Amino acid sequence: MSKTHCFLTTFWLNLFNRNTDKGKCKEKIRFFAQCLSEQAFFAMDISRLTAAADTLTSILTSGEEQKEKLAQGALVRGLSCLQEKKYDRAIREFKLAVYLKPTFEEAFEYLGKIYQINGQEKEALETFKRWVSSSPLSEKAITALGNIYIGNQQYKEAEIQFKRLLQINPSSAYAYNSLGHIYLNTDRCLEAEGQFKKVIQLAPGDANGYYGLGLTLNKLKRYEEAIEQFEKAIGLKKKFEFAYSDLAYAYLGLGNKEKAREQIETLNDLNTSLAKSLALELELALYTPKILGVKPLDGSFPSVLGPGTPLTVLNPDLSEANQSKIFSITFQFNQAMDVQSVQNPLNWMIFKAQGGPAGFYNNGITLNPQKEVGPHAYAVPQPPKGGFPPPYSLHGNLRPGLF
């Protein structure tokens, strides 16, 4: 008989000798088989396997007080493995802890977090669901489940959890803050505004309520009110990178680029990686590509002739009706441009000159507007990857860690 078979035989004999409910024994054996590492299982010698059988049998037949101690031990071992980044072993210990103590909140919390660290979102979600099921009145459990729904952009499910949290704790500023961001991300701005005002009422000394309200007002294009809220948030939290960034977008909404640039300088002075990233995004929003002029020697269109030049001077064939001629023009931009974007005809538009250096098209006389075209073209800038940031906010998504 192999060592493995010896272990199983010993384990089963000990277990059946000490527990009369054979059905429950089989169920528990299957659980512990999952918790054990297969590699460690086969590496153990027969004496250690027999000792393990006695230990497991003791666990299964012990009272609640003993299970509590064993669960605490599993938690401590799991935390140690977590610090050493031995995530697989930590998962086994935390699973053992919640098995022995189904209401063990710390074990559920760490188990879910490890799954999230490993990118195992499905397992993390199931863990938090089990946690809420075993502790339905736990604010931590409901919050964890609500936040993972938000991370998955499952806003309807998240809304249910945070409303549930308010039923348990009607004065939870975090719940109102979370609902505010959920409404903001689902285009329910007026509802979001109400939620953030409740946050401010419950926690007037916290910057996040003012910040959330500022985001909402930005999206509603009430920029002056938004600026007031962002300034309050910054007054309470001096290094609030997102608040400085969204304050800049509020100023951009008002067309005040100078004030927006001041926020960029402040972000650069903060000198954090997040602040630098936000400052760069603002720079892109401010520095819109423009045409500086044309290079007359690099194209076939005689732009040096200027406004008022008869068409026949451009080409004699244009003296006859229904004739056409193709000209090429080379433009000089104020920054490097995407070649494919510039060459795409859909990114250009042509309209009649409205005065200025070009004068008025046809001296301002419009005889057949549906047939007329203007000679002056203007480039539609190609936005950076992902698009230019909208004036109301580039950072409207809920960040659960704000509180």
Tens of pLDDT, residue by residue over 171-205, are 999 999 999 999 999 999 999 999 999 999 999 99
Higher pLDDT among residues 48 and 76, named by residue: 76
Measure the CA dihedral 326/330/336/339, to 10°. Answer: 30
The residue ranking higher by pLDDT, 354 or 394, is 354
Q: Is the dihedral of CA 109, 115, 117, 120 positive or negative?
A: negative
Would you state the pLDDT for residue 62?
A: 56
- Where are the chain's structural domains? 171-288+389-403, 291-364+372-379
Better pLDDT: 369 or 176: 176
Q: How sure is the predictor about 156, in pLDDT bands with cuts at 50, 70 and 90? A: very high
Instruction: Specify the pLDDT at position 386.
Output: 43
Q: Exposed (0-12), middle (13-18) or buried (19+): which is 332, by Cβ within 10 Å?
A: exposed
pLDDT band at 27 (very low <50, low <70, confident <90, very high): low
> Which one has a higher pLDDT value, 140 or 361?
140
CATH, domain range 171-288+389-403:
1.25.40.10
pTM summary value: 0.61
Q: What is the 3-state secondary structure (H, E, C) of 215-276?
A: HHHHHCCCHHHHHHHHHHHHHHCCCCHHHHHHHHHHHHHCCCHHHHHHHHHHHHHHCCHHHH
